[in-house]
Structure 1
């Protein structure tokens, strides 16, 4: 069982018990529209399927995924993960936080913790992330956590009927080590 503790959060194994909370929080249109893969509306039972698929991917070494929980009341507030590309020693960071918990610094706190995990435990050489350019809350988290802007991928994806630009950020292990000595 993996667990990361921060000042206000516990990052813990994703569990089937999280399904109802995932459906409730990720089902919010404002959360879903900021991600590429969260369905809207969020169908009942899909969270169980998502959790099962993540457990398989994790057992195959393709992802490391955590539920984000507040220490103060054990509330499930979101998910954070790194999709691992072993051949290249890199990982793609992804996260979402439920809308009631936006603007409180939880995303930044969880992201800093998983970046440390990615470099120190997974021995990755690079961690990168993308965000919709129209989602400043997400790319500001990346900036606060030391990721460097690497470019814009124009009309790179289509979401909810609209072509969307992605902003791309990355952090190299040596950059991480130089700022965290």
Structure 2
């Protein structure tokens, strides 16, 4: 996996050394409630377990995951991933940014870079993402990244024991402008 650079960010390989920072941000309820996969309360030591499992999935070609770091201080501010190559040439991206860094455009910058990676490095034809309908911060990142809204998936997932609607966005290779 290569490192991806943007004007303000470096998207690099996630390592076990990142576990303390991942756990710190993932433990924040405001971050956890925006995802399907971050439990709350976040278990102590859970980040090491998560990183170990996601790196195994990466070795198997199922996913590419990046630590989102700021160039100015090399500090980890979040994670972003894209699913690996497949016969349908489509990939899902998923991301979260630590709450202290919300509202600075880092999510959009990272999403644009990973969409580019998906088209140019992984040869995908379609990149998509989903977010809770009550999470406008996430779906605005999708819009600003060039994705188009394709619909609402009603009661598509279960979060905290209740069905939740997901909004669905995608961008096609032919729409991608680089």
Please state which band the TM-score falls in when normalised by the shorter chain: over 0.9
**Secondary structure of residue in 2 paired with 1:74:** coil
Deviations 1:105-129 (A, max 9, x none): 0000000111101100000011000
Matches within 5 A, 1:111-130: 111-130=111-130
| C-alpha distance in structure 1 between counterparts of 2:136 and 2:161, whole Å | 20
| Structure-1 separation of matches of 2:87 and 2:32 | 31
In structure 2, the gaps of 5 or more residues are: none
Q: CA deviation at 1:45?
A: 1.2
Gaps spanning 5+ residues in structure 1: where? none
1:135-169 superposed Cα distances (whole Å, 9 cap, x missing partner): 00000000001101111011111111332110001
TM-score by length of 1: 0.95
Please say if residues 61 and 85 of structure 2, whose CA atoms lie closer than 8 Å, have aligned partners that are also in contact: no
Tell me what 2:175 maps to. Answer: 175
Q: Contact between 2:84 and 2:122, CA under 8 Å: does it hold in 1?
A: no
**Secondary structure in 2 aligned to 1:103?**
coil
Structure 1 stretches of 4+ with a deviation exceeding 6 A read: none
**TM-score of the superposed pair, with normalisation by structure 2:** 0.97
- Give the root-mean-square deviation of aligned CA atoms: 1.0
Partner Cα distance (2:59, 2:75) in 1: 26
| CA distance in structure 2 between the partners assigned to 1:102 and 1:162 by the alignment | 26
Return the offset for 1:85: 5.4
Alignment of 1:1-181 (within 5 A): 2-84=2-84, 86-176=86-176, 179-180=177-178
